[in-house]
Amino acid sequence: MFKSMYNWIDERLDITPMWRDVADHEVPEHVNPAHHFSAFVYCFGGLTFFITVIQILSGMFLTMYYVPDIINAYASVDYLQHKVAFGVIVRGMHHWGASLVIVMMFLHTLRVFFTGSYKAPREMNWVVGVLIFFVMLGLGFTGYLLPWDNKAYFATQVGIKIAASAPYIGDYIKTFLQGGEIVGAQTLTRFFALHVFFFPGILLALLAGHFFMIRKQGISGPL
């Protein structure tokens, strides 16, 4: 059935050359762990992307039950955790994945830096990668408040105060994030919108550019 469906689509869109161009792309020898043990350091980027996909899929599942208001936010998370089938597993994957993706991205950034992969002609991709890093940090910060428990509430207060201490623009950042005089309903709504809509949209656009440049320029050589 799948083969006939694929053939039906391929007759109309000619998709075989597109995925063949990706699937048949030769991987350089220095990133093949079968030939070089040090090639494992080149896996951090792929692992980061894999965890990011898990974060997106698990996050889509969580939004089916989460209620972004201060009255029902904690109760909806508690319901997901204890009443929904596999809810505790999916939320655990999303919770721990949020930390693990930062670790993997940090290791990937170190690999790029110490192997000199940020140099010409890959300077633009380095900049895009750094922007992806900041977007990931933003996703982690905004997602931390969403359970609306005591730890999330006071940790977010601390984070906003740190942002407010930035010279010249600190007050504007505080107003933008907090949405009012205190961390409250407007803050939760803004963090939810940033976490679910704005940051993921920016992330997908940056990832598209990141992979396009990798495909165009190839994987960097060894140190």
Which of 22-31, 32-41, 84-93 shows the lowest per-residue confidence on average (mean pLDDT)?
A: 32-41
Q: What is the 3-state secondary structure (H, E, C) of 202-214?
A: HHHHHHHHHHHHH
Q: What is the CATH number of the domain that holds 179?
A: 1.20.810.10
Cα 223 from Cα 3, distance rounded (Å): 44
Q: What pLDDT sits at residue 17?
A: 84
Higher pLDDT, 216 or 190: 190
Place of tokens 């000619």: 14
180 in any annotated domain: yes
Q: What pLDDT sits at residue 206?
A: 98
Q: What is the span of the domain harbouring residue 144? A: 32-217
Q: In angstroms, what is the C-alpha Rg of the chain?
A: 21
* Band of residue 40 on the pLDDT scale cut at 50, 70, 90: confident
125 in any annotated domain: yes
Q: What pLDDT sits at residue 34?
A: 65
| pLDDT single digits (tens) 121-147 | 999 999 999 999 999 999 999 999 999
74 in any annotated domain: yes
59 in any annotated domain: yes
21 in any annotated domain: no
Q: How many structural domains are present in the chain?
A: 1
What DSSP character marks residue 40?
A: G
Average pLDDT over residues 167-175: 95
222 in any annotated domain: no
Cα 16 from Cα 130, distance rounded (Å): 34
Q: What pLDDT sits at residue 37?
A: 59
Q: What pLDDT sits at residue 47?
A: 95
Cα 142 from Cα 62, distance rounded (Å): 15
17 in any annotated domain: no
Average pLDDT over residues 27-32: 75
Cα 80 from Cα 194, distance rounded (Å): 22
58 in any annotated domain: yes
Average pLDDT, the chain: 92
